[in-house]
Amino acid sequence: MNKQLLALVVAVTAAAAAGCDQRALDVKTTGAGGSVSIGVDGGAFVPTRKLDMLFVIDDSPEMRLAQDNFIRNFPTFMSRLMDPPGLPDLHIAVISTDMGAGDGSISGCDASGGKNGIFQYAPRGSCMAIGLAPGAMFIADDGTNRNYTGSLSDVFGCIATLGENDYGFEHQLATITRALDTDDSPAPAENQGFLRPDAFLVILLLSNEDDCSAPPGSNLYDTMANTTLASMLGPPTNFRCNEFGHLCNGGKPPRLAPNGDVNDSVTLEGCVPAEDGALIPVPEITRRIRSLKSSLCFSRRRSIPRSSAGPASGKCGPPQPGSPSSARSSKDPAASRWRGVRR
């Protein structure tokens, strides 16, 4: 399988909260997989300067260079946010894709939830200190007051250099719902105060692997009865996340190498999420994220990666002070679980 490095905006409610007027959003980005258009049709953005940004960083093997490149280019990203009328009122947090896996028998995967969606704020890499104020778990900067010393880019770089010590059963989607308190477990105490009801929410992922967010009680990570290619789930490698997360032309991606040659490759087409329960269905993840805001806006344009459909009309954005914030959508449009398959 051809694993492509993806930096995916899962939920975008504003390009930048600073100076947003009521207008549609259309963002185009180009990466290794080609051009991706992230647009909103028919919606309008309610002006606000508050922007909550959650960065989901894959810390599995082979991610060091991708992290280095991302952190090296972060100042460019921040410089665009500083365009007139200036930096938004920011909250920035970092989480890992490590949520553990199984009963702890898989090397590198514990049975207690890994990093559990808890904000990562310890200095790493060459950093001796991060510059965050004592007790701070995320970056806060409203343009006048901030909870750190030094440059924002340097502080972020010290937090986001998570390394590559996690195993390959990444939970890119489940760690989001865990971090933002939209699953069925108690909220991480370290994450309190990050989300603001009147702020836009942006979630960005940096990963090179398939999402492997399985529901509680799943046997997807079994290492007792499933250890060989002939077993029901196959050997305990992260190819399981691909095999049981896809349907390509109606069938699972093949477990065995084509023609018995491990150096050969296969082209898979017509691939869609396999929402049969082996992994948490993407619409369920979408519903949980949407529940954080009264009207999140998502893209209508479809590609891989792709986000879910948003409202056809009306205002998109966070609830304003005094407005209801607990609205739920009765219908959850389908979204796509991204996969590293060759198309």
Tens-place pLDDT, residues 45-65: 557 889 999 999 998 888 889
Tens-place pLDDT, residues 207-218: 988 888 988 888
Residue 62: closest CA among 168, 177, 185: 168
Q: Rounded distance, CA 56 to CA 36, Å?
A: 19
Grade residue 143 by pLDDT with cuts at 50, 70 and 90: confident
Q: Rounded distance, CA 113 to CA 109, Å?
A: 8
Encoded amino acid at 123, one letter: P
Q: Rounded distance, CA 210 to CA 13, Å?
A: 25
Q: What is residue 305's predicted lDDT score, i.e. its pLDDT? A: 33
Within 185-335, strands assigned E span: 200-207, 246-248, 271-273, 315-316
Residue labelled with tokens 């750190």: 148
Q: What is residue 9's predicted lDDT score, i.e. its pLDDT? A: 40
Q: What is the largest CA-CA distance in the chain?
A: 64
Q: What is residue 177's predicted lDDT score, i.e. its pLDDT? A: 93
Residue 266: closest CA among 238, 295, 245, 243: 243
**SS3 of the chain: helix, strand, coil, percent, to 5:** 15, 20, 65
Q: What is residue 45's predicted lDDT score, i.e. its pLDDT? A: 52
Cβ atoms of 285 and 8 within 8 Å: the answer is no
Higher pLDDT, 87 or 36: 87
Residue labelled with tokens 């901030």: 146
Higher pLDDT, 3 or 211: 211
Cβ within 8 Å of residue 182, ≥6 positions away: 288, 289, 291, 292
Q: What is residue 51's predicted lDDT score, i.e. its pLDDT? A: 92
Q: What is residue 335's predicted lDDT score, i.e. its pLDDT? A: 36
Tens-place pLDDT, residues 99-133: 877 566 666 666 666 788 999 998 887 787 889 99
